[in-house]
Amino acid sequence: MAPHANDSNGTATGMAGGPAPTDTATGFAVESPNVTYGDDTINARYTYRTTDVSFADGKYQAKPKETVYDFKTQTKVGKVGLMLVGLGGNNGSTVTAGILANRRKLEWETRERSRKANYYGSVVMSSTVKLGTDTKTGKDVNLPLHNLLPMAHPDNIVIGWWDISGLDLAAAMDRAQVLEPTLKSLVRKEMAGMTPLPSIYYPNFIAANQGDRADNIIPGSNACMEHVDHIRKDIRDFKHANGLDKVIVLWTANTERYANLIPGVNDTADNLLKAISAGHTEIAPSTVFAVASILESAPFINGSPQNTFVPGCIQLAEQHHTFIGGDDFKSGQTKMKSALVDFMINAGIKLTSIASYNHLGNNDGKNLSSQKQFRSKEISKSTVVDDMVAANNVLYKEGEHPDHTVVIKYMPAVGDNKRALDEYYAEIFLGGHQTISMFNVCEDSLLASPLIIDLVLITELFTRIQWRQHTTATTHQGESDCQDWKSFHSVLSVLSYLLKAPLTPPGAPIVNALAKQRSALVNIMKACVGLEPENDMTLEHKLF
């Protein structure tokens, strides 16, 4: 494996993938008439059971419903490329160093002890799911999530990048102050050979204090079709130079201010393209990157909190059948909040206020010290409890909601070690109160970097899954009438577990409860191999 820089004529090349990793985990096969294994596909028939509810004569009527789907998963992964917007930031330099360290199985000394490269924090690479129950012992059998279906391995991802800062990645890694010096020394030579492609820079959308980093710029300070074409060419050149089967683009650059939603400008796909061509000043850099990616059929993921996916951008993705996902990595404080609030409300405890305070000293904190950029983050952090509150009409009457405030302060001295302080104030039995105070020190980029890996691996997987619905009853002996094969909706809401402000298809409900988000991901993957959803009833141990 050898790193590559941009060559002299501007061709986009990237960090080459390594040899296929050795996977020692146990495989499995499903024995069922509903599952067949072809030469290049796994085909599963799955009965999706839900409950339809109607209200009549003063009471709810619940009616079980069954819908039969076929899922077809291509088993050949191919060669996957990841192009990061903002690679020279803390997240980009950290995830690149992490992939290099894992690829080379590095080990290094710290003040505490020797450490080995790992993918801790990645739900795909480091969590397990229940496969079933051992027939002899009665114990649960668990296997790594990435073994449920054929998935790309992060060691093999080829990385390319853009950045408004021209620093090579070794210098960017030093600037980030995230990694141990001994680890940095082991990857420095490779990282030093990686320099970013020029990016677009619209000062109107990020904090003025970022201007001193902007020395690697594509000319022009407003959206234009030339910028879209430039980025599209970068994607094509990167794909060709590295012999890739697919490219995924991910925004890990600065938080932008919210773009104003303007009729005739960004409300439809046609209007958005016209507005870009006309150089409209209300088109954000992240939206330009998203449009370019969509037109190149490259999935685009937004890891920052701004409203990249204006209605016209979502419509464009739907027209081109290209996946998009966002917004904002869910790494530390918000992940704890979405788990704890879910627990409290499901326990029948009435949460009445949430006060969240953060201070951090990395460049994200510096950018967020500007009010307009902070407002984007405040929105993404403040909406994470809404669906859990709405689900409990015993505790909360219509329109009732806990008080919720979010504060972020820039404190350079703490660097990437973000401090998150939360107070949860709740009403309990007979007018009593409960207060839970939490102090969370989050090594921000070491939590966010595995999420980048997960977002890429899951998105890549869903590019290989198709589904169709049966419109008449089906028997195991014969075929029913079926719709045509389709891909999942362009808004890939299955990524919600990893994102603070999950994007959903127009009209679909937003789910923020952490357990529900993970369950959706795992159970869809299980459906693709004909297995039932995770079931915690364990009746076999309760009915004696």
Active site residues: 328, 377, 418, 500
Instruction: Write the CA distances from 216 to 56, 155, 226, 381, 489, integer angstroms.
Output: 64, 28, 17, 31, 36
Whole-number Å distance between alpha carbons of 183 and 96: 12
Would you tell me how many other CB atoms lie within 10 Å of the CB of residue 459? 24
140-144/350-360 β-pairing: unpaired
Q: Quick check: 70 and 483 in contact, CB under 8 A?
A: no
Classify 534 as helix, strand or coil.
Answer: coil
The β-bridge relationship of strands 324-326 and 300-302 is parallel
Look-up of token digits 């404190």:
411
Which residue from 274, 313, 279 is spatially nearest to 295, judged by alpha carbons?
313
Cβ neighbour number for residue 478 with a 10 Å cutoff: 7
Q: Are 60 and 54 in contact (CB under 8 A)?
A: yes
Instruction: Give me the long-range contacts of 273-281 (CB less than 8 A, separation at least 24).
Output: 273/225, 273/312, 273/316, 275/223, 276/223, 276/224, 276/225, 276/227, 276/228, 277/224, 277/225, 279/222, 279/223, 279/224, 280/222, 280/223, 281/204, 281/222, 281/223
In the chain, count H helices and then E strands. Answer: 14, 17
Q: Is 435 exposed, middle or buried (0-12, 13-18, 19+ CB in 10 A)?
A: exposed
Which residue carries 């130079």 as its tokens?
241
The Cα–Cα gap between 192 and 16 comes to 14
Query: Within 355-487, where are the H helices?
Result: 363-368, 371-382, 386-390, 444-462
| Residue 10 DSSP code | -
Count of beta carbons in the 10 Å neighbourhood of residue 274: 15
- Name the DSSP letter for residue 487: P
Which helix (H) or strand (E) segment holds residue 100: the answer is: helix 90-103
CB 310 within 8 A of CB 258: no
Degrees (nearest 5) of the Cα angle 173, 174, 176?
65
As a whole number of angstroms, the distance between CA 445 and CA 228 comes to: 29
